[in-house]
Structure 1
Amino acid sequence: MIASAPGLTMRAIRTQCRFASSAPRTPRPNIKTPTSRPPPKISKPYKPKPRPEHLPKTSSTSSSSSSSTSSTSPPQQAETLLDLWRATWLPLTGAALLAGALGFYIFGTAAASFKATPCSGACEHATPTGRPPALDGDNAEQFDKELTLPEWWMGITKLRKRLAEHADGHVLELAMGTGRNLEYFNWEPLNKRVEGKLSKVGSKMPRGVLSFTGLDISVDMLDVARKRLVKTVPPMETSAPIVRASTMADHTGGQLSYLNDQLRLIHSDAHHPIPGPATPATTKYDTVIQTFGLCSVSDPVAVVNNLAKVVKPGSGRIILLEHGKGWYGIVNGLLDQNAGKHFEKYGCWWNRDIEGLVEEAASKTPGLEIVKVERPNILQMGTLVWIELRVNDKTS
């Protein structure tokens, strides 16, 4: 019993300790700490940070990643002057040309404004005769050659070609001068007619010159035109001209006739009655053309009236290529100031109101109608005038 007493005592102590640990504890006071609210969420658009174009090479960057990056986005190179010129040469060139032309025009206008007119008194009311004062028998060819470059520059050569395309059938060219239109005509129908290769009457004939009559008041100019015809029309090389002297009946100063009267050069005044085609069956011309003629005659209205008398009513056409007053007052002022000097050399008044003169002629000529009025080549500022007329076929 005594031996077991210490064991019981230890067990009792353990039991008390267990009960002591399992006894209820006093509850702690429940103290609530104030909780702070989380900051409000503000949504912002996502903006990626700009990546530098050239990143410095680091040891951690592998060679494979650098090679792939360089292949996808090559570094941009600065543009050279050559690159800039290739991208902008067209507008820069156009602007330079426009500025140069404008400067030249302004300078010419200012210079002409302070320049004295060489012929302001006696020449002001001089009557043109159609014969340029600077032209004579010795310099006729040189006078003609000097017109080549200015006419090309002003676009007149192109207009001559266009004019010649309208020449069809029996053709009359009034004030033909040195024959600067001859090389642009289609002479194929005339050549075939001379060679006897034309189709029978009633079939469709090729478009072009079937017969030609050229008229001018200057013998020297007609001589230059004759030499041109020999080079232009092949049958002329072997054809001897038939010379007809001046007669009072036809109001001409004589004429040269080639190829059985199918080609004629007549020395005559445009104010006189105009001979008709030589072909007996035809009394009117199919096409009547005139280049820079109304500026060189004393009575332009009477000349247009004469042209209306010899053109075929209905289908016939009168085509005029003239120069005169333009669109702008400053240009017309320059023409007026230099008209005397121009008249002294070329014998024409380039400051006439061509459109107004033709309208006056149409109002005074029965049946004459204006079909078309154009002012081609805008760089000439309206000083070139293209006019087409016809005669009403109902005119008695």
Structure 2
Amino acid sequence: MAISARRVILPQWQWRCVSSSTSSSQHRLPHRLHRPNPPRKHTAPTSQPETLLSLWRRSWMPLTGAALAAGFLGFYIVGTVAASLRQPCQLPNTACRTAIPTGRPSALTGENVETFDRELDWPEWWMGISRLRRRIGALAAGDVLEVAVGTGRNLTFYQWKPASPARKNRPRGITSFTGLDISADMLVLAQKRLDLLHTPATQFQSPTRSSSAQNRLRLITANVQEPLPPPPVTSVPVPGSTKPCAKYDTIIQTFGLCSVADPVRALENLAAAVKPGSGRIILLEHGRGWLGLVNGLLDRFAPGHYSKYGCWWNRDIEGLIHEAIRSTPQLELVKLHRPNIWQLGTIVWAELRVALPPEKS
């Protein structure tokens, strides 16, 4: 029996459901495992032209260091040349190049001394020397000896307070002061400075040029390469002894090693005059620096500088100090550094002491 096909007519809403389910089943994809996306490859950013600002941010430190080094070098070169050419001088000959300094240059006599002293005010300020002199003055205590006192440029920086045993934890002040120089003309100006100082100088006797033991404040014409005068009879006796110690608590010398014939011998004399153990020798000197170019300039202008000022400013100060230490028993180096970086190592600060002798068994 044949079966006839009939067309089934469905409502419109049922027909939509059947067609949607059929289409969804036909297009449904089989189930797939989730796979992580591969990492994205790093792509280099597009290059942009470098600007001055970006260049500065990347290299400001080396650029700044190079600029400062060039500035310091130029600053020092200009100062060195200006100091050498301030006054015309004769061309140095062989005798000048090998001359032995005496500390008494012919150009620094009489009225020239005051002119020379005034000309140092501005250079010492911008070179930082005045600040270093102030530091040295604060370290002076007890019986003080200043060698190569010259025109007395350190005198205004000393703490002119009498020693007080009750103030043990503070600077003791100055018990006595002895200024020594080989140039009598320079001591005339140093004496004027002492007279003008507004300090408790009335507590000292009037300063004179003689080495009278009764004067606690005195200026003496003497040579540092010869035995040095002892301090006045105001020194505190050595423990266990009734005699005063004939040595100094503080010995100061600023820019003196360039003007003596035998610097090592001068340092040996300073060591013989300082109190062993507690005493200090403080040196502020000018000599060879860190850079060969700077040392070459010093060598180039050294004869002209010596012919005017009697000072060889190109000496190896550190080498001279170590030579004196090797030749002097118990002499020790406490501190050595080169302040004022813009001077490129030509300024040397050194502190020395003489150790106590070993106890005899």
Q: From the superposition, tell whether residues 345 and 367 of structure 1 become closer, same or farther in structure 2 (CA, over 3 Å).
A: same
**Are positions 1:208 and 2:165 aligned together?**
no
1:270-281, aligned counterparts within 5 Å? 270-279=224-233, 281=244
Once residues 76 and 279 of structure 2 are traced to their aligned partners in structure 1, the CA distance between those partners, rounded to angstroms, is 44
What residue is the counterpart of 2:327 in the other structure? 364
Decide which of 295, 301, 320 is 2:258's aligned counterpart.
Answer: 295
SS of residue matched to 1:255: coil
What residue is the counterpart of 2:159 in the other structure? 186
**Are positions 1:157 and 2:130 aligned together?**
yes
**Are positions 1:309 and 2:265 aligned together?**
no
How big is the shift at 1:163?
Answer: 0.8
How big is the shift at 1:188?
Answer: 1.2
Decide which of 72, 84, 101 is 2:71's aligned counterpart.
Answer: 101
Q: From the superposition, tell whether residues 234 and 285 of structure 1 become closer, same or farther in structure 2 (CA, over 3 Å).
A: same
CA contact (8 A) 1:322 1:385 kept: yes
CA contact (8 A) 1:326 1:383 kept: yes
What residue is the counterpart of 2:109 in the other structure? 136
Decide which of 210, 233, 237 is 1:255's aligned counterpart.
Answer: 210
CA contact (8 A) 1:326 1:332 kept: yes
How big is the shift at 1:135?
Answer: 1.2
Q: How many residues align?
A: 306
Once residues 207 and 348 of structure 2 are traced to their aligned partners in structure 1, the CA distance between those partners, rounded to angstroms, is 37
Q: Which has the larger radius of gyration?
A: 1
How big is the shift at 1:330?
Answer: 1.1
What residue is the counterpart of 1:324 in the other structure? 287
SS of residue matched to 1:269: coil
CA contact (8 A) 2:336 2:351 kept: yes
How big is the shift at 1:132?
Answer: 3.3
What residue is the counterpart of 1:223 in the other structure? 188
CA contact (8 A) 1:169 1:209 kept: yes
Percent identity (aligned) = 51
**Structure 2 unaligned blocks of 5 or more:** 9-18, 38-52, 235-243
- Residue by residue, what CA displacement relative to the aligned partner does 1:129-163 show, whole Å, maximum 9, x if unpaired? 11233212112212111101101111111110111
How big is the shift at 1:262?
Answer: 0.4
CA contact (8 A) 1:199 1:205 kept: no
* RMSD between superposed Cα atoms in Å: 4.0
What residue is the counterpart of 1:14 in the other structure? none
How big is the shift at 1:282?
Answer: 3.1
1:68-87, aligned counterparts within 5 Å? none
Moved more, 375-384 or 273-282: 273-282
- Residue by residue, what CA displacement relative to the aligned partner does 1:26-46 show, whole Å, maximum 9, x if unpaired? 247xx98895568x9xx99xx
**Structure 1 unaligned blocks of 5 or more:** 1-23, 45-83, 191-197, 244-253
CA contact (8 A) 2:141 2:171 kept: no
SS of residue matched to 2:92: coil
- Residue by residue, what CA displacement relative to the aligned partner does 1:258-300 show, whole Å, maximum 9, x if unpaired? 9x41011000111111100011623110000000000100000
Once residues 143 and 286 of structure 1 are traced to their aligned partners in structure 2, the CA distance between those partners, rounded to angstroms, is 31
**Are positions 1:388 and 2:342 aligned together?**
no
How big is the shift at 1:208?
Answer: 1.6
Once residues 214 and 189 of structure 1 are traced to their aligned partners in structure 2, the CA distance between those partners, rounded to angstroms, is 17
- What code does the residue aligned with 1:26 have? R
How big is the shift at 1:351?
Answer: 0.4
SS of residue matched to 2:257: coil
Moved more, 95-104 or 281-290: 95-104
Once residues 76 and 189 of structure 2 are traced to their aligned partners in structure 1, the CA distance between those partners, rounded to angstroms, is 38
How big is the shift at 1:121?
Answer: 2.0
What residue is the counterpart of 1:26 in the other structure? 6
